[in-house]
């Protein structure tokens, strides 16, 4: 049986409340990754699964797995 090397990855994810009362989840370092959950706990589980599938897909295609970049979060106030 062939064993697959396991690696641990960490990514910043964004949880945004959506119109249906759940959460939409994206990961800035993983372009195109979007999932959602009916509540925050479910959204976290869905995000973990989506990231796992995303990375497995990249591995199968022998593509580079993105590394997390430094993210600075700030709230801006704009007067218009």
- Confidence band for 5, pLDDT divided at 50, 70 and 90: confident
Note the pLDDT tens digit of each residue in 49-74: 999 999 999 999 999 999 998 888 89
Q: What pLDDT, on a 0 to 100 scale, did the predictor assign at position 21?
A: 95
DSSP line for 56-77 = HHHHHTTPPPPPPPP-------
Beta bridge partners of 26: 14, 34
Angle of CA points 17, 40, 54, to nearest 5°:
90
**Residue 26 and residue 13 in contact, taking contact as beta carbons nearer than 8 Å:** yes
Decide which of 3.40.720.10, 3.40.50.1780, 2.40.160.50, 3.30.160.250 is the CATH code for 1-80: 3.30.160.250
Task: For strands 23-26 and 14-17, give the pairing.
Answer: antiparallel
Q: Collapsing DSSP states into helix, strand and coil, what is residue 13?
A: coil
pTM: 0.83
């Amino acid at each position: 049986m062939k064993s697959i090397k396991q690696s641990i990855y960490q990514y910043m994810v964004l949880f945004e409340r959506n119109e249906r009362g759940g959460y939409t989840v994206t990961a800035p370092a993983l372009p195109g990754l979007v999932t959602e959950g009916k509540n925050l706990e479910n959204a976290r589980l869905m995000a973990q699964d989506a990231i796992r599938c995303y990375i497995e897909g990249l591995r199968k295609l022998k593509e580079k797995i993105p590394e997390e970049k430094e993210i600075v979060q700030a709230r801006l106030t704009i007067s218009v």
